[in-house]
Copies of this chain bind each other. A is one copy, B any other.
Protein backbone atom coordinates (compact mmCIF):
# COMPACT_ATOMS: atom_id res chain seq x y z
CA UNK A 1 0.00 0.00 0.00
CA UNK A 2 1.44 3.37 -0.97
CA UNK A 3 1.49 6.34 1.37
CA UNK A 4 -1.07 8.17 -0.78
CA UNK A 5 -3.78 5.56 -0.40
CA UNK A 6 -3.03 5.12 3.28
CA UNK A 7 -3.73 8.79 3.89
CA UNK A 8 -7.09 8.76 2.16
CA UNK A 9 -8.25 5.32 3.33
CA UNK A 10 -11.56 5.60 5.17
CA UNK A 11 -12.30 1.89 5.15
CA UNK A 12 -13.03 0.29 8.52
CA UNK A 13 -15.80 -2.28 8.27
CA UNK A 14 -17.22 -3.38 11.61
CA UNK A 15 -18.66 -6.83 12.29
CA UNK A 16 -22.14 -6.55 13.76
CA UNK A 17 -21.81 -10.04 15.23
CA UNK A 18 -18.78 -8.94 17.26
CA UNK A 19 -20.61 -5.86 18.51
CA UNK A 20 -23.70 -7.90 19.43
CA UNK A 21 -21.47 -10.34 21.32
CA UNK A 22 -20.05 -7.43 23.28
CA UNK A 23 -23.54 -6.06 23.96
CA UNK A 24 -24.79 -9.46 25.09
CA UNK A 25 -21.73 -9.83 27.34
CA UNK A 26 -22.51 -6.45 28.90
CA UNK A 27 -19.22 -4.95 27.71
CA UNK A 28 -20.91 -2.09 25.86
CA UNK A 29 -24.46 -0.79 25.72
CA UNK A 30 -26.52 -0.76 22.50
CA UNK A 31 -26.48 3.05 22.49
CA UNK A 32 -22.72 3.14 22.74
CA UNK A 33 -22.46 0.61 19.94
CA UNK A 34 -24.81 2.65 17.80
CA UNK A 35 -22.84 5.82 18.51
CA UNK A 36 -19.70 4.27 17.06
CA UNK A 37 -21.40 3.85 13.71
CA UNK A 38 -22.93 7.34 13.93
CA UNK A 39 -19.42 8.76 14.49
CA UNK A 40 -18.21 7.08 11.31
CA UNK A 41 -21.15 8.64 9.49
CA UNK A 42 -20.42 12.08 10.91
CA UNK A 43 -16.76 12.00 9.99
CA UNK A 44 -16.87 10.27 6.60
CA UNK A 45 -20.18 10.94 4.86
CA UNK A 46 -19.10 14.32 3.45
CA UNK A 47 -16.24 12.61 1.64
CA UNK A 48 -17.93 9.39 0.62
CA UNK A 49 -21.59 10.28 -0.12
CA UNK A 50 -22.99 6.89 0.84
CA UNK A 51 -26.46 8.24 1.62
CA UNK A 52 -29.28 9.89 -0.30
CA UNK A 53 -30.94 10.68 3.02
CA UNK A 54 -29.93 9.72 6.54
CA UNK A 55 -31.03 10.24 10.11
CA UNK A 56 -28.96 8.71 12.93
CA UNK A 57 -31.00 10.50 15.60
CA UNK A 58 -34.03 8.21 15.71
CA UNK A 59 -33.41 6.76 19.13
CA UNK A 60 -36.95 5.49 19.62
CA UNK A 61 -36.65 3.12 16.73
CA UNK A 62 -33.59 1.58 18.31
CA UNK A 63 -35.46 0.52 21.40
CA UNK A 64 -36.32 -2.79 19.72
CA UNK A 65 -34.97 -5.87 21.39
CA UNK A 66 -34.65 -8.05 18.31
CA UNK A 67 -31.47 -9.91 17.44
CA UNK A 68 -30.08 -6.87 15.58
CA UNK A 69 -30.12 -4.96 18.90
CA UNK A 70 -30.96 -1.60 17.34
CA UNK A 71 -27.79 -1.50 15.25
CA UNK A 72 -27.94 0.71 12.16
CA UNK A 73 -29.00 -0.74 8.81
CA UNK A 74 -28.56 0.93 5.43
CA UNK A 75 -31.24 0.46 2.77
CA UNK A 76 -30.57 0.80 -0.94
CA UNK A 77 -32.75 3.61 -2.24
CA UNK A 78 -34.80 1.42 -4.57
CA UNK A 79 -36.59 -0.10 -1.55
CA UNK A 80 -39.63 1.72 -0.22
CA UNK A 81 -39.50 3.17 3.28
CA UNK A 82 -42.29 5.07 4.99
CA UNK A 83 -39.96 7.39 6.88
CA UNK A 84 -37.44 8.33 4.19
CA UNK A 85 -38.03 9.45 0.60
CA UNK A 86 -37.46 6.69 -1.97
CA UNK A 87 -35.89 8.15 -5.08
CA UNK A 88 -34.66 5.14 -7.07
CA UNK A 89 -31.62 7.22 -8.10
CA UNK A 90 -33.86 9.19 -10.44
CA UNK A 91 -35.05 12.83 -10.47
CA UNK A 92 -38.49 11.50 -11.46
CA UNK A 93 -38.87 10.32 -7.86
CA UNK A 94 -37.27 13.36 -6.19
CA UNK A 95 -40.26 13.93 -3.90
CA UNK A 96 -41.50 10.40 -3.53
CA UNK A 97 -42.34 9.25 0.01
CA UNK A 98 -44.07 5.84 -0.06
CA UNK A 99 -46.90 4.95 2.27
CA UNK A 100 -45.28 1.77 3.55
CA UNK A 101 -42.06 -0.19 3.81
CA UNK A 102 -40.73 -2.74 1.38
CA UNK A 103 -41.10 -6.23 2.85
CA UNK A 104 -37.34 -6.61 3.42
CA UNK A 105 -37.30 -3.29 5.30
CA UNK A 106 -40.23 -4.38 7.46
CA UNK A 107 -38.39 -7.63 8.22
CA UNK A 108 -35.19 -5.75 9.14
CA UNK A 109 -37.14 -3.55 11.55
CA UNK A 110 -38.93 -6.59 12.99
CA UNK A 111 -35.48 -8.06 13.73
CA UNK A 112 -34.54 -4.95 15.70
CA UNK A 113 -32.57 -3.11 13.04
CA UNK A 114 -32.57 0.70 13.03
CA UNK A 115 -33.04 1.99 9.49
CA UNK A 116 -30.67 4.98 9.44
CA UNK A 117 -31.22 6.00 5.86
CA UNK A 118 -31.37 5.32 2.19
CA UNK A 119 -28.10 4.49 0.48
CA UNK A 120 -27.07 5.71 -2.92
CA UNK A 121 -28.11 3.60 -5.88
CA UNK A 122 -27.32 4.13 -9.52
CA UNK A 123 -30.34 5.30 -11.55
CA UNK A 124 -32.99 2.54 -11.19
CA UNK A 125 -30.17 0.19 -10.15
CA UNK A 126 -28.74 0.32 -13.67
CA UNK A 127 -25.38 1.93 -14.52
CA UNK A 128 -25.47 5.70 -14.06
CA UNK A 129 -23.60 6.50 -10.80
CA UNK A 130 -24.77 9.02 -8.23
CA UNK A 131 -21.60 10.22 -6.56
CA UNK A 132 -20.59 7.64 -3.95
CA UNK A 133 -16.83 7.14 -3.47
CA UNK A 134 -14.81 4.11 -2.47
CA UNK A 135 -13.76 4.21 1.21
CA UNK A 136 -10.43 2.54 0.40
CA UNK A 137 -9.58 5.50 -1.81
CA UNK A 138 -12.14 8.14 -2.73
CA UNK A 139 -10.69 8.49 -6.20
CA UNK A 140 -12.00 5.03 -7.02
CA UNK A 141 -15.51 3.84 -7.80
CA UNK A 142 -17.40 1.89 -5.10
CA UNK A 143 -19.03 -0.13 -7.87
CA UNK A 144 -22.73 -0.29 -8.48
CA UNK A 145 -25.59 -0.39 -8.44
CA UNK A 146 -25.69 -0.85 -4.65
CA UNK A 147 -22.95 1.77 -4.26
CA UNK A 148 -23.91 3.33 -0.93
CA UNK A 149 -24.76 0.05 0.78
CA UNK A 150 -21.35 -1.45 -0.01
CA UNK A 151 -19.36 1.72 0.71
CA UNK A 152 -21.24 2.45 3.93
CA UNK A 153 -20.45 -1.01 5.33
CA UNK A 154 -16.81 -0.62 4.24
CA UNK A 155 -16.62 2.75 6.01
CA UNK A 156 -18.15 1.40 9.23
CA UNK A 157 -21.25 3.62 9.01
CA UNK A 158 -23.53 0.61 9.51
CA UNK A 159 -22.76 -3.09 10.01
CA UNK A 160 -25.56 -4.31 7.71
CA UNK A 161 -27.06 -3.11 4.47
CA UNK A 162 -29.57 -4.29 1.90
CA UNK A 163 -28.76 -4.10 -1.80
CA UNK A 164 -30.00 -5.72 -4.98
CA UNK A 165 -28.48 -7.47 -7.97
CA UNK A 166 -29.89 -7.70 -11.51
CA UNK A 167 -26.49 -7.90 -13.24
CA UNK A 168 -23.73 -7.71 -10.65
CA UNK A 169 -24.94 -5.07 -8.22
CA UNK A 170 -24.19 -6.87 -4.97
CA UNK A 171 -21.10 -8.93 -5.68
CA UNK A 172 -19.23 -6.28 -7.72
CA UNK A 173 -19.48 -3.39 -5.21
CA UNK A 174 -18.70 -5.82 -2.39
CA UNK A 175 -15.53 -6.82 -4.26
CA UNK A 176 -14.54 -3.21 -4.93
CA UNK A 177 -15.26 -2.12 -1.35
CA UNK A 178 -13.63 -5.08 0.39
CA UNK A 179 -16.68 -6.29 2.27
CA UNK A 180 -18.66 -9.51 2.27
CA UNK A 181 -21.64 -9.51 -0.08
CA UNK A 182 -24.27 -12.18 -0.46
CA UNK A 183 -26.78 -12.56 -3.28
CA UNK A 184 -29.14 -15.34 -2.21
CA UNK A 185 -30.95 -17.82 -4.41
CA UNK A 186 -33.47 -15.92 -6.54
CA UNK A 187 -36.50 -14.90 -4.49
CA UNK A 188 -35.20 -15.82 -1.05
CA UNK A 189 -35.43 -12.26 0.32
CA UNK A 190 -38.90 -10.92 -0.52
CA UNK A 191 -38.71 -8.21 -3.20
CA UNK A 192 -42.09 -6.56 -2.65
CA UNK A 193 -41.64 -2.80 -2.48
CA UNK A 194 -38.31 -2.82 -4.32
CA UNK A 195 -38.42 -0.97 -7.63
CA UNK A 196 -38.35 -3.62 -10.38
CA UNK A 197 -35.98 -3.39 -13.33
CA UNK A 198 -36.03 -6.97 -14.59
CA UNK A 199 -38.40 -9.09 -12.54
CA UNK A 200 -36.92 -12.46 -13.42
CA UNK A 201 -33.42 -11.30 -12.45
CA UNK A 202 -33.87 -8.72 -9.65
CA UNK A 203 -32.60 -10.32 -6.44
CA UNK A 204 -32.17 -8.65 -3.06
CA UNK A 205 -28.91 -9.23 -1.21
CA UNK A 206 -26.91 -8.05 1.78
CA UNK A 207 -23.58 -6.50 2.71
CA UNK A 208 -21.61 -6.89 5.94
CA UNK A 209 -18.03 -6.95 7.21
CA UNK A 210 -17.77 -10.74 7.13
CA UNK A 211 -19.47 -13.75 5.56
CA UNK A 212 -20.94 -14.98 8.89
CA UNK A 213 -22.36 -11.47 9.35
CA UNK A 214 -24.08 -11.77 5.96
CA UNK A 215 -25.52 -15.15 6.97
CA UNK A 216 -26.77 -13.71 10.26
CA UNK A 217 -28.43 -10.66 8.68
CA UNK A 218 -29.87 -12.60 5.74
CA UNK A 219 -31.43 -15.08 8.17
CA UNK A 220 -33.60 -12.19 9.42
CA UNK A 221 -34.66 -11.14 5.91
CA UNK A 222 -35.32 -14.64 4.58
CA UNK A 223 -36.70 -16.00 7.87
CA UNK A 224 -34.53 -19.03 7.19
CA UNK A 225 -31.69 -20.54 9.16
CA UNK A 226 -28.65 -19.55 7.08
CA UNK A 227 -26.06 -19.46 9.84
CA UNK A 228 -24.02 -22.55 10.52
CA UNK A 229 -21.10 -23.59 12.66
CA UNK A 230 -17.65 -23.93 11.15
CA UNK A 231 -17.70 -26.44 8.27
CA UNK A 232 -16.82 -29.94 9.55
CA UNK A 233 -14.65 -30.69 6.50
CA UNK A 234 -13.02 -28.40 3.94
CA UNK A 235 -15.12 -28.00 0.76
CA UNK A 236 -14.51 -29.39 -2.70
CA UNK A 237 -14.06 -26.25 -4.75
CA UNK A 238 -14.38 -26.05 -8.52
CA UNK A 239 -12.23 -23.28 -9.94
CA UNK A 240 -14.37 -21.87 -12.71
CA UNK A 241 -12.63 -19.43 -15.04
CA UNK A 242 -15.76 -19.18 -17.29
CA UNK A 243 -15.70 -17.99 -20.88
CA UNK A 244 -14.93 -14.45 -19.64
CA UNK A 245 -11.45 -15.24 -18.31
CA UNK A 246 -9.75 -13.06 -20.94
CA UNK A 247 -11.24 -9.99 -19.20
CA UNK A 248 -9.57 -10.78 -15.87
CA UNK A 249 -6.80 -8.40 -14.79
CA UNK A 250 -3.31 -9.65 -13.97
CA UNK A 251 -3.81 -8.81 -10.32
CA UNK A 252 -7.14 -10.64 -10.13
CA UNK A 253 -5.47 -13.69 -11.70
CA UNK A 254 -2.88 -13.52 -8.94
CA UNK A 255 -5.62 -13.15 -6.36
CA UNK A 256 -7.38 -16.24 -7.70
CA UNK A 257 -4.09 -18.16 -7.51
CA UNK A 258 -3.58 -16.99 -3.94
CA UNK A 259 -7.12 -17.98 -3.02
CA UNK A 260 -6.62 -21.47 -4.44
CA UNK A 261 -3.24 -21.88 -2.74
CA UNK A 262 -4.63 -20.82 0.63
CA UNK A 263 -7.69 -23.03 0.19
CA UNK A 264 -5.48 -26.01 -0.60
CA UNK A 265 -3.20 -25.22 2.30
CA UNK A 266 -6.23 -25.24 4.61
CA UNK A 267 -7.26 -28.65 3.33
CA UNK A 268 -9.70 -27.99 0.49
CA UNK A 269 -9.77 -29.95 -2.73
CA UNK A 270 -9.59 -27.51 -5.64
CA UNK A 271 -10.24 -28.76 -9.15
CA UNK A 272 -10.55 -26.74 -12.32
CA UNK A 273 -14.10 -26.95 -13.58
CA UNK A 274 -15.15 -25.86 -17.02
CA UNK A 275 -18.76 -25.04 -17.81
CA UNK A 276 -20.79 -26.66 -20.61
CA UNK A 277 -21.00 -24.53 -23.77
CA UNK A 278 -24.63 -23.56 -23.14
CA UNK A 279 -23.29 -21.10 -20.58
CA UNK A 280 -21.73 -18.91 -23.24
CA UNK A 281 -25.17 -18.45 -24.73
CA UNK A 282 -26.61 -17.86 -21.27
CA UNK A 283 -24.40 -14.79 -20.80
CA UNK A 284 -25.95 -13.27 -23.92
CA UNK A 285 -29.41 -14.35 -22.82
CA UNK A 286 -29.02 -12.30 -19.64
CA UNK A 287 -28.95 -8.99 -21.51
CA UNK A 288 -31.90 -9.90 -23.71
CA UNK A 289 -34.03 -10.87 -20.72
CA UNK A 290 -32.94 -7.90 -18.63
CA UNK A 291 -33.54 -5.29 -21.29
CA UNK A 292 -36.80 -6.74 -22.60
CA UNK A 293 -38.19 -6.69 -19.08
CA UNK A 294 -36.74 -3.28 -18.16
CA UNK A 295 -38.58 -1.30 -20.81
CA UNK A 296 -41.81 -2.87 -19.55
CA UNK A 297 -40.99 -2.44 -15.86
CA UNK A 298 -40.33 1.25 -16.58
CA UNK A 299 -43.29 1.59 -18.95
CA UNK A 300 -44.70 4.61 -17.08
CA UNK A 301 -41.37 6.42 -16.82
CA UNK A 302 -40.60 5.63 -20.44
CA UNK A 303 -43.94 7.00 -21.65
CA UNK A 304 -43.99 10.10 -19.47
CA UNK A 305 -40.52 11.10 -18.28
CA UNK A 306 -38.02 10.08 -20.94
CA UNK A 307 -36.36 13.49 -20.64
CA UNK A 308 -35.44 12.77 -17.02
CA UNK A 309 -33.65 9.50 -17.75
CA UNK A 310 -29.89 9.31 -18.20
CA UNK A 311 -28.46 9.06 -21.69
CA UNK A 312 -27.18 5.56 -20.95
CA UNK A 313 -30.60 4.31 -19.83
CA UNK A 314 -32.41 5.92 -22.76
CA UNK A 315 -29.97 4.23 -25.08
CA UNK A 316 -30.58 0.84 -23.45
CA UNK A 317 -34.37 1.19 -23.43
CA UNK A 318 -34.47 2.34 -27.05
CA UNK A 319 -32.59 -0.82 -27.93
CA UNK A 320 -34.86 -2.82 -25.63
CA UNK A 321 -37.87 -1.78 -27.67
CA UNK A 322 -36.43 -3.61 -30.66
CA UNK A 323 -36.22 -6.97 -28.86
CA UNK A 324 -38.98 -9.24 -30.13
CA UNK A 325 -41.04 -11.47 -27.84
CA UNK A 326 -39.59 -14.40 -29.81
CA UNK A 327 -36.01 -13.37 -28.89
CA UNK A 328 -37.04 -12.95 -25.27
CA UNK A 329 -38.74 -16.35 -25.19
CA UNK A 330 -35.68 -17.95 -26.79
CA UNK A 331 -33.41 -16.32 -24.19
CA UNK A 332 -35.63 -17.68 -21.43
CA UNK A 333 -35.33 -21.16 -22.90
CA UNK A 334 -31.53 -20.86 -22.98
CA UNK A 335 -31.58 -19.80 -19.32
CA UNK A 336 -33.73 -22.77 -18.41
CA UNK A 337 -31.44 -25.19 -20.25
CA UNK A 338 -28.39 -23.69 -18.54
CA UNK A 339 -30.01 -24.00 -15.11
CA UNK A 340 -30.64 -27.65 -15.84
CA UNK A 341 -27.04 -28.16 -16.99
CA UNK A 342 -25.79 -26.43 -13.85
CA UNK A 343 -27.29 -29.05 -11.55
CA UNK A 344 -24.91 -31.51 -13.22
CA UNK A 345 -21.92 -29.29 -12.44
CA UNK A 346 -22.71 -29.37 -8.73
CA UNK A 347 -22.64 -33.14 -8.64
CA UNK A 348 -18.85 -32.97 -8.71
CA UNK A 349 -18.08 -29.97 -6.50
CA UNK A 350 -19.60 -28.33 -3.43
CA UNK A 351 -19.16 -24.80 -4.74
CA UNK A 352 -17.54 -22.94 -7.61
CA UNK A 353 -14.81 -20.34 -7.22
CA UNK A 354 -14.64 -17.51 -9.75
CA UNK A 355 -13.61 -13.84 -9.68
CA UNK A 356 -16.12 -11.39 -8.23
CA UNK A 357 -15.05 -8.74 -10.73
CA UNK A 358 -12.58 -8.30 -13.58
CA UNK A 359 -10.18 -6.57 -11.21
CA UNK A 360 -10.15 -3.90 -8.52
CA UNK A 361 -12.43 -0.85 -8.63
CA UNK A 362 -11.91 1.49 -11.60
CA UNK A 363 -10.20 4.79 -10.83
CA UNK A 364 -13.10 6.57 -12.49
CA UNK A 365 -16.11 7.91 -10.63
CA UNK A 366 -18.12 8.07 -13.85
CA UNK A 367 -18.07 4.26 -14.05
CA UNK A 368 -19.27 1.54 -11.71
CA UNK A 369 -17.32 -1.22 -13.46
CA UNK A 370 -18.78 -4.18 -15.32
CA UNK A 371 -20.77 -7.20 -14.11
CA UNK A 372 -18.78 -9.65 -16.26
CA UNK A 373 -18.57 -12.33 -13.59
CA UNK A 374 -21.99 -11.77 -12.12
CA UNK A 375 -24.60 -11.73 -14.86
CA UNK A 376 -24.44 -15.46 -15.49
CA UNK A 377 -25.04 -16.34 -11.84
CA UNK A 378 -27.85 -13.83 -11.45
CA UNK A 379 -29.52 -15.50 -14.43
CA UNK A 380 -28.91 -18.93 -12.91
CA UNK A 381 -30.54 -17.77 -9.67
CA UNK A 382 -27.76 -19.36 -7.63
CA UNK A 383 -26.41 -18.09 -4.31
CA UNK A 384 -23.20 -16.03 -4.71
CA UNK A 385 -20.90 -14.69 -2.03
CA UNK A 386 -18.13 -12.13 -2.36
CA UNK A 387 -15.33 -13.25 -0.07
CA UNK A 388 -13.10 -10.32 0.90
CA UNK A 389 -9.53 -10.43 2.16
CA UNK A 390 -7.24 -9.97 -0.85
CA UNK A 391 -5.82 -6.74 -2.23
CA UNK A 392 -4.13 -5.29 -5.32
CA UNK A 393 -0.72 -3.63 -5.04
CA UNK A 394 -2.39 -0.21 -4.94
CA UNK A 395 -4.23 -1.21 -1.78
CA UNK A 396 -7.62 -1.66 -3.42
CA UNK A 397 -9.61 -4.80 -2.50
CA UNK A 398 -10.01 -7.78 -4.82
CA UNK A 399 -12.93 -10.06 -4.03
CA UNK A 400 -13.26 -13.70 -5.00
CA UNK A 401 -16.64 -15.25 -5.54
CA UNK A 402 -18.14 -18.48 -4.25
CA UNK A 403 -21.15 -19.78 -6.19
CA UNK A 404 -23.36 -22.59 -4.93
CA UNK A 405 -26.27 -24.58 -6.33
CA UNK A 406 -29.69 -22.95 -6.13
CA UNK A 407 -31.30 -23.37 -2.69
CA UNK A 408 -28.05 -24.49 -1.05
CA UNK A 409 -27.56 -21.06 0.47
CA UNK A 410 -26.58 -22.28 3.89
CA UNK A 411 -23.89 -24.60 2.56
CA UNK A 412 -22.67 -21.90 0.16
CA UNK A 413 -22.32 -19.41 2.99
CA UNK A 414 -20.59 -22.05 5.10
CA UNK A 415 -18.02 -22.77 2.37
CA UNK A 416 -17.55 -19.02 1.85
CA UNK A 417 -16.94 -18.44 5.55
CA UNK A 418 -14.46 -21.30 5.46
CA UNK A 419 -12.60 -19.66 2.56
CA UNK A 420 -12.73 -16.25 4.22
CA UNK A 421 -10.97 -17.75 7.20
CA UNK A 422 -8.44 -19.55 4.98
CA UNK A 423 -7.62 -16.27 3.19
CA UNK A 424 -6.90 -14.62 6.54
CA UNK A 425 -4.33 -17.28 7.49
The reply to whether A296 and B192 form a contact with Cβ atoms under 8 Å apart is: yes
* Chain A positions 282-309 with a Cβ under 8 Å from a chain B Cβ: 293, 296-304
The reply to whether B300 and A101 form a contact with Cβ atoms under 8 Å apart is: yes
The reply to whether B303 and A190 form a contact with Cβ atoms under 8 Å apart is: no
* Chain A positions 58-111 with a Cβ under 8 Å from a chain B Cβ: 82, 92-93, 96, 99-103, 105-107, 109-110
Chain B residues with CB under 8 A of A82: 300
The reply to whether B99 and A190 form a contact with Cβ atoms under 8 Å apart is: no
A229 within 8 A of B: no
The reply to whether A407 and B299 form a contact with Cβ atoms under 8 Å apart is: no
The reply to whether B223 and A199 form a contact with Cβ atoms under 8 Å apart is: no
Contact of A103 among B109, B222, B300 (CB under 8 A): B300
A254 within 8 A of B: no
Chain B residues with CB under 8 A of A296: 103, 107, 190, 192, 223
Report how many copies the assembly holds.
Answer: 2
The reply to whether B303 and A110 form a contact with Cβ atoms under 8 Å apart is: yes
Identify the closest chain B residue to A86 (Cβ): B99
Contact of A190 among B102, B224, B299 (CB under 8 A): B299
The reply to whether B199 and A300 form a contact with Cβ atoms under 8 Å apart is: no
The reply to whether A223 and B103 form a contact with Cβ atoms under 8 Å apart is: no
Give, as a whole number of angstroms, the nearest-CB distance from A187 to chain B. 7
A325 within 8 A of B: yes
Identify the closest chain B residue to A292 (Cβ): B223
A329 within 8 A of B: yes
The reply to whether A107 and B299 form a contact with Cβ atoms under 8 Å apart is: yes
With contact pairs A110-B303, A223-B325, A303-B109 given, residues A103 and B192 touching in the complex (Cβ less than 8 Å): no
Q: 16 A-B contacts, Cβ less than 8 Å apart? A: A100-B300, A102-B300, A103-B296, A103-B297, A106-B299, A106-B300, A106-B304, A107-B299, A110-B299, A187-B199, A190-B297, A192-B196, A192-B296, A192-B299, A222-B325, A329-B407
Given contacts A190-B299, A223-B296, 14 further A-B pairs with CB under 8 A are A93-B99, A96-B99, A100-B300, A102-B300, A106-B303, A106-B304, A110-B303, A187-B199, A192-B199, A192-B296, A192-B299, A193-B300, A222-B325, A329-B407
Taking Cβ atoms with an 8 Å cutoff, the residues of A that contact B are 82, 92-93, 96, 99-103, 105-107, 109-110, 187, 190-193, 196, 199-200, 222-224, 293, 296-304, 325, 329, 407
* Complex A-B, nearest 8 residue pairs according to Cβ-Cβ distance, in ascending order: A106-B299, A103-B299, A100-B300, A190-B296, A106-B300, A101-B300, A192-B297, A192-B196
